[in-house]
């Protein structure tokens, strides 16, 4: 891919890639880093078939975001163990409620969904077409509507369950 062509691809696709990663991570700084990494991977190893570049970028971005989330989860678990060993207690409930409760509830519900459901919802919310979503999750485009409807129902059920409990 030539630099002028790459610049145009970056200009067109960067906002969607950045938005998708931001929704997955909830961290704008990390999303910016991973969006840049997504385009570095495109520059270094472009896909053979450029006909669905948006889908390819979405898949790479989602994989990078999930890798980041796994690494963050391991880091947080390690820090929590270290903290508990040092202090001998867990964080108080008040300390855990610093962030906005509604955003936390949505993120918690998303985290309880299967990867495919979460990815479908976030891609649809980011403005991706059914065809692009199908490419990312590896199904036929005709199946995306059903998958999305079921994912929305599961999200709603999780959200309602979470609001009844807390």
Domain boundaries, the chain: 1-90, 92-166
To the nearest whole number, what is the mean pLDDT of the chain?
85
User: Does position 102 have pLDDT exceeding 60, yes or no?
Assistant: yes
DSSP state of 139: S
Q: pTM of the predicted model, to two decimals?
A: 0.51
Nearest-5° angle of CA 98, CA 155, CA 93?
20
Percentage of the chain lying above the pLDDT 90 cut: 42
Q: What is the pLDDT of residue 106?
A: 78
Specify the CATH number of the domain 1-90. 1.10.1740.10
CB atoms within 10 A of CB 6: 14
18-46: average pLDDT = 93
Collapsed DSSP state (helix, strand, coil) of residue 50 = helix
Q: Is the pLDDT of residue 89 over 70?
A: no
- In this prediction, residues 44-57 reach a mean pLDDT of 89
Q: CATH for 92-166, among 1.10.10.10, 3.30.499.10, 1.10.3720.10, 1.20.120.550?
A: 1.10.10.10
pLDDT at 93 over 70: no
Q: How confident is the model at residue 85 (pLDDT cuts 50, 70, 90)?
A: low
pLDDT for position 159: 84
Per-residue model confidence as pLDDT tens digits over 62-73: 999 999 989 988
């Amino acid at each position: 891919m030539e630099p002028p062509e790459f610049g145009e691809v970056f200009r067109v696709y960067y906002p969607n890639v950045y938005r998708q990663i931001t929704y997955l991570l909830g961290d704008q700084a990390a999303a910016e880093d991973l969006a840049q990494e997504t385009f570095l991977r495109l520059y270094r190893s472009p896909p053979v078939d450029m006909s669905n570049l948006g889908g390819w970028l979405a898949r790479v971005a989602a994989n990078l975001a999930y890798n980041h989330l796994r690494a963050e989860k391991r880091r947080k678990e390690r820090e929590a163990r270290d903290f508990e060993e040092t202090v001998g207690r867990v964080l108080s409930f008040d300390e855990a409620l610093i962030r906005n409760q509604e955003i936390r509830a949505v993120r918690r519900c998303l985290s309880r969904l299967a990867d495919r459901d979460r990815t479908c919802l976030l891609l649809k919310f980011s403005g991706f077409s059914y065809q692009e979503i199908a490419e990312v999750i590896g199904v036929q485009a005709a199946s995306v509507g059903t998958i999305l409807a079921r994912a929305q129902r599961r999200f709603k059920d999780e959200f309602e369950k979470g609001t009844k409990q807390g």
